[in-house]
C-alpha cells in the first residue's frame, strides 16, 4: 500500500517492535534517514553486514547505535530504508516490512505492508518530509544525520534541486549547527590501501570509444563503487568496475551528466544484466550496482555492450 508522508506515523504506530534497517555497506543517506526515523517514532536501528566508511563516520558523529545483522524474527515490522533491491539486504529474511526509499527499482513495493518510494535526490529528504508532516521533535543529531545524508547522496549538492536546498536550509535551522559541521563529518582521511586499490583500478581500466563517448571498464577486488566514481570523475562517460566475491561478481557503475541526460539508465542496465545472470541489480540512472553469478570479465562485457547500444 502506497502511503504519503503524513500517514507514516499512524501506519508504523500499529507495530510494537520496529526495526529500521539499512542496506549492506550502509551510506550516510541510509544511516541518517533510519536514525532520524527511529528517533522520531521509536525502534531499533540496524544494518546488514556493515556500514560504509562514511556511514560509520556519521553514526559515530551523531551517536547512532547501529545493530549489525539484527534478527528479523525479533521484530514485528522491518522498515527498509534507502534500499530498492533484495540483494542489498544480503541474507536478511524479510517477512513483514515497510519501505522508505528514493531509488528507481520498484521490486520491493509489492510485498510491503506500506511504502513511500518516490524519486528524490536522497532518502533523507523523504524522511525529513515525514518528520515535518508528523510534527516530530527534531534533535541536533537527527538533523545532522539527515543533512549529511543529503550532502553525501547529492555529491555535495552537485546533483541538486530547489527541494534539496530547501530541505538543507530547514535542517540547518532545525539542528542549530553550521554547514561546516556537517561537512566535517564527511572529511575523513582516505587510507593508503583504498588509494592504492583505486589507482590500480584506474590504471588497469580498458577504455572503449564509441563515437565521442568513452566507456571504461575495470576489475578490482574491493572498492568497486569508488573506482567507478574515480573513472567517471576522470572523464569516462560511463564506468563499470567489477569485483569477484566468492562465486559472485559485483559491479558498480557510474555515468557522467551527459550520458544520463541522453537517457542512459544504469539502474535498468544493471538490473537486466544482473537478472540475466542469476542475480539482481539496480539503483539510479547515473549510479547503480549489481550482484550476479559469473566472471567479472564476461559480466563487464555484457554491461559495456548494453551501454554502447544505448549511446547514440
Residues 6+ apart with CB under 8 A from 34: 20, 21, 22, 26, 45, 46, 47, 79, 81, 82
Least Cβ distance, residue 90 to Mn ion (angstroms): 17
CB-wise, 5 or 82, nearer to Mn ion? 82
101 near Mn ion, rule: CB under 5 A: no
105 near Mn ion, rule: CB under 5 A: no
Task: Select the span of 105-113, 120-128, 189-197, 200-208 touching Mn ion (CB under 5 A).
Answer: 120-128
DSSP state of 191: P
82 near Mn ion, rule: CB under 5 A: yes
Maximum alpha-carbon separation in the chain: 57
Q: Order the strands of the 280-283 sheet from edge to edge.
A: 206-210, 213-219, 238-245, 248-255, 287-293, 280-283
153 near Mn ion, rule: CB under 5 A: yes
CB-wise, 153 or 268, nearer to Mn ion? 153
Least Cβ distance, residue 195 to Mn ion (angstroms): 25
**Closest among 184, 190, 207, 177 to 58, alpha carbons compared:** 184
Least Cβ distance, residue 175 to Mn ion (angstroms): 20
CB-wise, 147 or 299, nearer to Mn ion? 147
CB-wise, 82 or 268, nearer to Mn ion? 82
Residue ranges in the chain assigned as alpha helix (H): 8-12, 28-41, 53-62, 123-133, 140-153, 162-175, 179-186, 192-203, 224-233, 257-261, 266-276, 296-310
Least Cβ distance, residue 208 to Mn ion (angstroms): 29
Residues 8-47 that bind Mn ion (CB under 5 A): 29
Residues in contact with Mn ion by the rule CB under 5 A: 29, 82, 123, 153
Amino acid at each position: 500500500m502506497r502511503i504519503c508522508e503524513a500517514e507514516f506515523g499512524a501506519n508504523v504506530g500499529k507495530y510494537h517492535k520496529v526495526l529500521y534497517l539499512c542496506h549492506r555497506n550502509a551510506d550516510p543517506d541510509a544511516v541518517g534517514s533510519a536514525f532520524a526515523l527511529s528517533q522520531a517514532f521509536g525502534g531499533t536501528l540496524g544494518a546488514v553486514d556493515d556500514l560504509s566508511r562514511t556511514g560509520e563516520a556519521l553514526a559515530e558523529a551523531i551517536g547512532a547505535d547501529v545493530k549489525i545483522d539484527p534478527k528479523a524474527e525479533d521484530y514485528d515490522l522491518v522498515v527498509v530504508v534507502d534500499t530498492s533491491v533484495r540483494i542489498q539486504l544480503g541474507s536478511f529474511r524479510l517477512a513483514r516490512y515497510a519501505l522508505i526509499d528514493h531509488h528507481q527499482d520498484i521490486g520491493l513495493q509489492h510485498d510491503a505492508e506500506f511504502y513511500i518510494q518516490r524519486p528524490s535526490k536522497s532518502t533523507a529528504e523523504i524522511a525529513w518530509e515525514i518528520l515535518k508532516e508528523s510534527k516530530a521533535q527534531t534533535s541536533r543529531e537527527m538533523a545532522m544525520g539527515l543533512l549529511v545524508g543529503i550532502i553525501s547522496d547529492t555529491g555535495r549538492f552537485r546533483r541538486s534541486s530547489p527541494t534539496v536546498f530547501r530541505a538543507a536550509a530547514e535542517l540547518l535551522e532545525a539542528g542549530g549547527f553550521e554547514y561546516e559541521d556537517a561537512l566535517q563529518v564527511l572529511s575523513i582521511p582516505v587510507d593508503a590501501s583504498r588509494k592504492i586499490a583505486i589507482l590500480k583500478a584506474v590504471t588497469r581500466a580498458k577504455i572503449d570509444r564509441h563515437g565521442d563517448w568513452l566507456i571504461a571498464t575495470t576489475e578490482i577486488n574491493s572498492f568497486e563503487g569508488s573506482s567507478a566514481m574515480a573513472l567517471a570523475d576522470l572523464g569516462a562517460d560511463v564506468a563499470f568496475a567489477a569485483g569477484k566475491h566468492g562465486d559472485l561478481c559485483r559491479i558498480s557503475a557510474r555515468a557522467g551528466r551527459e550520458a544520463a541526460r541522453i537517457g542512459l539508465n544504469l539502474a535498468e542496465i544493471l538490473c537486466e544484466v544482473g537478472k540475466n545472470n542469476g542475480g539482481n541489480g539496480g539503483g539510479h540512472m547515473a549510479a547503480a550496482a549489481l550482484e550476479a553469478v559469473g566472471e567479472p570479465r564476461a559480466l563487464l562485457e555484457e554491461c559495456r555492450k548494453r551501454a554502447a547500444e544505448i549511446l547514440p
